[in-house]
Amino acid sequence: MKRVLGLCLLGLALSCAGCIAAATIALPGPILLACGILGLIAAGGLTYSLIHLAVDVHAMTKTLRSEHPILDSVRCSALKPLTAALQECLDKTNKPLLEARREIQDLGLQLQLLRRRKSGIEAILNSIHDAVLVCDDQDRLILANPAAEKLLGFESEKAALKPLKDNLSDNSLADLIIRARSSKVRHVRHELSLNRSGSAAWYDCLLSTVLDDSGQVISVVAVLHDITREKEISQAKNDFVSHVSHELKTPLASINAYAEMLVDGEAQDEAAIRQFCEIIQGQAQRLNRLIEDILNISRIESGLMKVNRQNLSLALIIRDAVEMIQSYAQEKNITLTAPAPILCDQVYADRDMMMQVVVNLLSNAVKYTPAGGSVSVQFEMNDVDGTITVSVTDTGIGIPEQDMDKLFGKFFRVEANKNFAKGTGLGLNLVRQIVETVHNGRVFVRSKQGQGSTFGFVLPIASSKTALIA
């Protein structure tokens, strides 16, 4: 036992010496790092030895106490300073080791946290529908999300750390980023037009500069939000206001001018006075019709239109509409024909609205058909799919192919036909709104320029039956 203790003490002394040497000699650079590692290993070994030694000393002390109670106090008092020295040495070596272990644990946790945050930020960036890209202080791309890659047509990995202008086909964005970096303005907003899949798209481009502690720009963050739809809506609104104002001002101009002429006594005789009054009345009615059309379209679009649905006969509505338009057709020497209503096929619809649909289609057909032509109405019932089709065919001037899909748009007028007849471009839009939006039907058109057109609509047959009419 004494020999073991002696060896232990020797080992301990050597370990302590090594440890103190490692702890006190300061060496530069990599040597210091190597020494540190060696020191840690030495400290580890030393701790291991010290723990074992302490256990052994404790056991020996216990044995001595029990085997030689007389010598016990003498021996114990001799060992006390050694035990204390050992404990002190143990505490000194354990402390840095524990601290190092704690630091390693902390670093591991921080690394884990950083990884989690990085993947979280990547997931957020990738989920953003807006294009996000970041450039460094030399205008080189350092980050871009998939939306930016798709919009600007590059791959982040290939484009990284290359000048932005090398990666973009359009320099406008790169110029804005460069300008933002030079100006050091914290945030700046621009509207930018970029080519997206061959068509121009509008973006709200928000540029933010990132500054370091000394106020130098270290990066520029660009976020591009697609505002094409908003632009289109805004443009459509402006166009609508412009069209409405033009359409309203035209009859109003006549009313105003002829009224002033009457006041100024510019009408030379009774006939002229009467003519001026009739013009004022006619233009006031035109103005009223126009306002009604605009309001009806607006009411239908906003769902505020009062719809009085009932089972009614389209055949009878066609008959009444033909009667209404007949005099206009005769004035223009146009033959207007419609099949006699034998079967009264029912649709569940608003009578006034359906009347307006048929009248609009008939008056359009007569309006765009030269004198001597013809307009006919066809009426077809399809029992298989439970629909009724009404079509109005004319021998008129027809419609150019490129305008076919715009015909039912608000205020659209065929440029080539403007000279042929006047119109507001609201009639067919109202037809579509009534048939499709209000009655879940479908409008259609077939036309060949110079050969005539067929406009029509399809509605579902009402659930109740067809009835014979007189």
* Site residues (vs another protein, CB under 8 A): 241-242, 245-246, 249-250, 252-258, 260-261, 264, 266, 268, 279, 283, 418-419, 422
At residue 70, what is the residue type? Answer: I
- State the nearest-atom distance from the C-beta of 410 to another protein, in Å: 17
- State the nearest-atom distance from the C-beta of 232 to another protein, in Å: 20
Of residues 251 and 441, the one with the C-beta less far from another protein: 251
- State the nearest-atom distance from the C-beta of 275 to another protein, in Å: 9
Of the candidates 240, 289, 302, the one whose C-alpha atom is nearest the C-alpha of residue 437 is 302
- State the nearest-atom distance from the C-beta of 247 to another protein, in Å: 8
Of residues 373 and 423, the one with the C-beta less far from another protein: 423
Q: What SS3 class is residue 187?
A: strand
- State the nearest-atom distance from the C-beta of 257 to another protein, in Å: 4
Of residues 218 and 272, the one with the C-beta less far from another protein: 272
Of residues 273 and 381, the one with the C-beta less far from another protein: 273
- State the nearest-atom distance from the C-beta of 390 to another protein, in Å: 31
Give backbone dihedrals phi and psi of 208, rounded to 5 degrees, phi first: -125, 135
Of residues 77 and 419, the one with the C-beta less far from another protein: 419
Of the candidates 340, 313, 275, the one whose C-alpha atom is nearest the C-alpha of residue 461 is 313
- State the nearest-atom distance from the C-beta of 245 to another protein, in Å: 5
- State the nearest-atom distance from the C-beta of 260 to another protein, in Å: 6
Of residues 182 and 238, the one with the C-beta less far from another protein: 238
- State the nearest-atom distance from the C-beta of 276 to another protein, in Å: 8
Give backbone dihedrals phi and psi of 392, rounded to 5 degrees, phi first: -120, 115
Alpha-carbon distance 449 to 455, whole Å? 14
Give backbone dihedrals phi and psi of 358, rounded to 5 degrees, phi first: -65, -40
Of residues 410 and 432, the one with the C-beta less far from another protein: 410
Of the candidates 356, 396, 357, the one whose C-alpha atom is nearest the C-alpha of residue 376 is 396
Q: Which helix (H) or strand (E) holds 75?
A: helix 69-127
Which contacts qualify for 349-352: CB closer than 8 Å, 24 or more apart? 349/309, 349/310, 349/312, 349/314, 349/439, 349/459, 350/307, 350/308, 350/309, 350/310, 350/434, 350/438, 350/439, 351/308, 351/310, 351/312, 351/317, 352/308
Of residues 160 and 257, the one with the C-beta less far from another protein: 257
Tell me, rounded to whole angstroms, the distance of Cα 215 from its chain centroid.
35
Tell me, rounded to whole angstroms, the distance of Cα 36 from its chain centroid.
57
Query: For 31-167, where are the E strands, in sequence order?
Result: 131-136, 141-144
Distances (CA, A) of 453 to 12, 68, 172, 348, 378: 111, 128, 47, 27, 13
Of residues 107 and 253, the one with the C-beta less far from another protein: 253
Of residues 258 and 379, the one with the C-beta less far from another protein: 258
Q: Which helix (H) or strand (E) holds 282?
A: helix 270-302
Distances (CA, A) of 438 to 62, 296, 305, 431: 103, 11, 9, 10
- State the nearest-atom distance from the C-beta of 279 to another protein, in Å: 5
What tokens appear for 8 in the block?
A: 């232990």
